Chain A
Amino acid sequence: MTKQKPDLPQGTLDLLILKALSLGPMHGYGVGQRIQQLAEEMLQIEEGTLYPALYRIEQRGWVESEWGVSENNRRARFYKLTRAGRKQLAVEESQWERLTSAVAKVLQAT
């Protein structure tokens, strides 16, 4: 029996993208790869949805993008966390922690 991979809760994709980019500039494919690696392939992500999310985040000013050359010498669009993005990441991380610990507390109640 294969284990059902959980869907991503609404709104967490942005957080994951920011986190992935905090490790260094990356193109969209790389961002997806990195998230999957970090999640140890335990998350179900429709890869295409990364892109609208990236565009939205870019418009908010949290990441910047420019065309560059990928590791296999192809033209690719690279995303880089901005200073505002770094701040946003910190905010979202702490929010997430508070949320999960609260949810965990509720669930641990017997």
Chain B
Amino acid sequence: MAWWKLFLDRMRALRDSESVHREIDEELRFHLDMRAEENVRRGMPPEEARREAERRFGRLTRIKEMGYEVRGGGMLETLRQDLRYGARMLRKNPGFTLVTVLTLALGIGANTALFSVVDALLFKSLPVKEPGRLVLFRCVASPTFSPGPYAGYDGTDAAGRRVMTSFAYQTFRRIRQQQSVLSDVFAYGDLVLNVNADGQADIANGQAVSGNYYAGLGVGAIVGRTITNEDDQGGARPVAVLSHRYWQRRFGGDPSVVGKQINLNDTAFTVVGVTPPGFEGTMQVGSTQDVTIPLAWEPRMYTDPKNSRMYGAGQWWLRVMGRLQPGATAEQARAQVETAFHQSVAEHHDELQTSAQTAGDKPISEVSPQQYPRLFLDPGGQGEMNERERYASSFYLLLGVVALVLLVACANVANLFLARVTSRQKEIGLRLALGASRFRLVRQLLTESLLLAGLGGTAGLLVAFWIKEGLLSVTDWGGRGMLALQPRLDLRVLVFTLALSLLTGIVFGLAPAWRATKVNLAPMLNGGGRGSSAATRSPLNRGLIISQVALSLLLLVGAGLFVRTLGKLRSVESGFDGRNLLLFNVQPDLVGYKGERMARLYEALAERIEGVPGVRQVTFSRVPLLARVRSTRSVYLRDSLAIGADATNRVAANGQCNVNLVRENFLEVMGIPLLTGRPFDMHDGARAPKVVVVNQTFVRKYFPGENPVGKSFTFDVRKPDELEIIGIVRDAKYASQREEIPPTVYVSWRQGFGDMNRATFEVRTTGEPNLVIADLRRAAREVDANLPLNDVRTQSEQADQTLTMERLLTKLLTLFGLLAQSLAAVGLYGVLSYGVAQRTREIGIRMALGASRSAVVKMVMRYGLTLTCFGVAAGVLTTYAVTRYLESRINLSSMLYGVTLSDPATYAVIASLLMLTALAACYFPARRATKVDPLTALRND
């Protein structure tokens, strides 16, 4: 019989075990009848014939059982019995079932929701062909290595070396030509595109890619075609590929978009195709590349060709990816291409040198071969990892948090379960006495707990959906940068939830089941089944309560630390007035503005917006405040210039400062008060002597103990004393709330105009800033319809965007901490109430012997509070150990602000909170104990 037929037989037996029994009966009866007939034929009297037949046959019932064991439902059938029995028990105790399922649903749901986010954020591979074979290039150099202009991720590793993931075009070309185990090497770099289609302009994330980008990734088009090598050549027609997301949003998913003309930065391109949904490019996780053009067209995307990243020697700006041939390793590839890489670094450096000479600049410092950066090939199947790494520690922390919540939930359910099986002690004892094996009973109880866990898991999916969309909503913590991240409750997540539910069921079910079946039969059956009070005061029970309190303390202390961090960060004195301030960005250089025309545009835009009702003042600056963006320059004072250049042609700077190019009224509008000197005015124009306003920190650092007004310094070693200080303003935060206020130099926008190709406008409103947005856009369209206002937000939204992770951690830790605490309180309450109910007789005797009510209250409360104290003590130790560990692994204290890891106030507040809750949880059972009537209690027996 094939296995499937066997299975069908089993299923039939399961559905209709009666008919199987009937068949066996009939067959055996036939046998006995035949034998008896035979015996009669041989001359036996009928009755003896029958007896003889039965004797020869053996034990009939036993044979029937053996037969049914083979032909019946087998394991499946016992499982079904267990399930039926379990379901009946759960139906009989709806309160217990409801509390348990809810508790588990919260625990499992929180874990499922977080897993779905973590999976999408940290674990998912790119939706490309064989992502495991992709490698992403990275180079690591000494901290002093400078490749010239650089754009992209620029970090520092643990050893203090510079880590870069962008490369020059030369490098890409060299590596692509090099014979190696890489079957394909392709490059891509981001660029901002002003898209004008159907008479409407907006700003899109764009990218320029080498012609083999899509072929190398193995990504096709769902409509039209992708970019090919032929498109990436001088003289080719300008073509563009759209992402599915952008196609849907901007063109309503219209397939006739293929062949359509769209203007990208004022150049006409033809759309040739759309990439599949889910493919969002290969940049940082969550980012999406809306519009893709061939690399060959990048230089044409700028009004001033000098702004192109390919201009002259070119910037390091391209990410480079390769595809390994089957079976090849990244290390083989690295060894094969590193020489070509070094060669390209030298070439790029030579080109930089040549262009410096032709421009009459001082020669740049030499790069010796010892300084050549090292090349690394990282797994590229997930795209770029830097953003992921930024989020990783926060999310691993949260994963730990929800795992703890689940543990607390398990402890709670285990406790309830234990109390419940203890009350079924008599039944269990009876079954054991009747010969049921302990294994069979443990299995029965485990089936019940798995059933509960299954229900909990199912309800948990609903909870997960709710948490994922609400508490963990990506727009909340990820901001615009995470637009494309869409965590789903997909198959991977469902498998996770299933596994988690099973595990949960075993964790909370096994220990109680084991304990409950370890029964001494004699007293159990004699004693009227009161159940032993020992069971509710067992070490297991106490341990569960203590660990619940301890885990709650851990979570709540964590929450407390983040609440204080967030509070401190929010109340940080920013040094400027962020209320009623609306911000937006414009990038006029994308649509052809430059020089005087751009200056006139800024003026016109500012003046036009000043006329909008509800707007009080308008200013603009190169860098928005509290946006994690900074522009820094080296500061050279007269003394360091006097020392002159060292052997490597470098002049040592006195230090760094932050720079912002601002409209004349910026300091006034932002509410940064002038302390001495004068503000900028209209006379500080492009041809006037260059003047700057500096902040207090700048003065303290570079002109300590002097009045710097009237003194000079420079950013440019060739022009000493170029910048005269005309005023000092109060300190204000620049890039983020966390940072120390840096030395800051404000330069009039007219005098630093070369960098003013984009700006952030700051609009001070009389009332609610969001109310003027529509009018603002209309006003801007009147000035130039081809100039979209980008990224409109209020200053407080802007500031909060830099605090997203802090807010998320605070919110979730607080919520889960309180959840764990309520679970612990419910657990304590349950155990004490149950204990009181079990000890009714004992309490009755005590009271009959003259114990006062307060003595009884004290007795019950002492028990509960002692447990809580142990829990708090264990919690403090655990928290201390866990924070130490996290500090060493993910540098926890760097996530905090203005509060230490072992902040005594936080610990004290949380410990008292837990004690108070415990007090409440103990009080009610204690009061009930005093209501015990001694007579009834004694008669009860």
List the interface of chain A (C-beta within 8 A of B).
Answer: 27-29, 32, 46-49, 51-52, 55-56, 58-61, 64, 70, 72, 74-77
Contacts and interface: CB of A to CB of B under 8 A. Distances in A.
Interface string B223-258: 000000000000000000000000000000000000
A28 B1 contact: no
A6 B62 CA distance: 23
Contact of B28 (A48, A58, A70): A48
Interface in B23-76: 23-24, 26-28, 30-31, 33-35, 37, 56-60, 62-63, 66-67, 69-71
Interface residues of B, number: 27
Contacts of A58: 1
Contact of B60 (A29, A48, A55): A48
B6 interface: yes
Nearest to B53: A47
B27 A77 contact: yes
A56 B37 CA distance: 28
Given A29-B30, A76-B30, A48 B58 contact: yes
B58 A49 contact: yes
A90 B1 CA distance: 18
A21 to B, nearest CB: 15
A27 B31 CA distance: 9
A61 B63 contact: no
A47 B31 contact: yes
A70 B59 contact: no
Contacts of B57: 46-48
Nearest to B33: A74
In order of increasing CB-CB distance, the 3 nearest A-B pairs are A48-B63, A48-B58, A46-B58
Given A47-B35, A58-B1, A70 B30 contact: yes
A52 to B, nearest CB: 4
Q: Is the interface of A mostly helix, strand, loop or mixed?
A: helix
**Residue of B1, B23, B67 with most chain A CB atoms under a 10 A cut-off:** B1
A75 B852 CA distance: 81
B1 A60 contact: yes
Contacts of A27: 30
Contact of B30 (A46, A47, A75): A75
A52 B27 contact: no
B66 A77 contact: no
A59 B2 CA distance: 8
Nearest to B63: A48
B60 A28 contact: no
Contact of A29 (B9, B34, B59, B71): B34
Contacts of B59: 48
B713 to A, nearest CB: 94
Contacts of A56: 70
Contacts of B58: 46-49
B1 A77 contact: no
Contact of A52 (B23, B56, B70): B70
A69 to B, nearest CB: 11
Nearest to A65: B27
A35 to B, nearest CB: 13
Given A51-B63, A59-B1, A61-B2, A75 B31 contact: no
B11 to A, nearest CB: 14
Contacts of B62: 48
30 contacts: A27-B30, A28-B27, A29-B30, A29-B31, A29-B34, A29-B35, A32-B31, A46-B56, A46-B57, A46-B58, A47-B31, A47-B56, A47-B57, A47-B58, A48-B28, A48-B60, A48-B62, A49-B66, A51-B66, A52-B63, A55-B67, A59-B1, A59-B9, A60-B1, A61-B2, A64-B1, A72-B37, A74-B30, A76-B30, A77-B23
Interface string B339-356: 000000000000000000
A32 B27 CA distance: 13
Given A46-B58, A75-B26, A75-B30, A51 B35 contact: no
Contacts of A74: 30, 33
A77 B34 CA distance: 13
Contacts of B60: 48
Contacts of B69: 52
A51 to B, nearest CB: 5
Contacts of A59: 1, 6, 9, 70-71
Nearest to A45: B56
A73 to B, nearest CB: 12
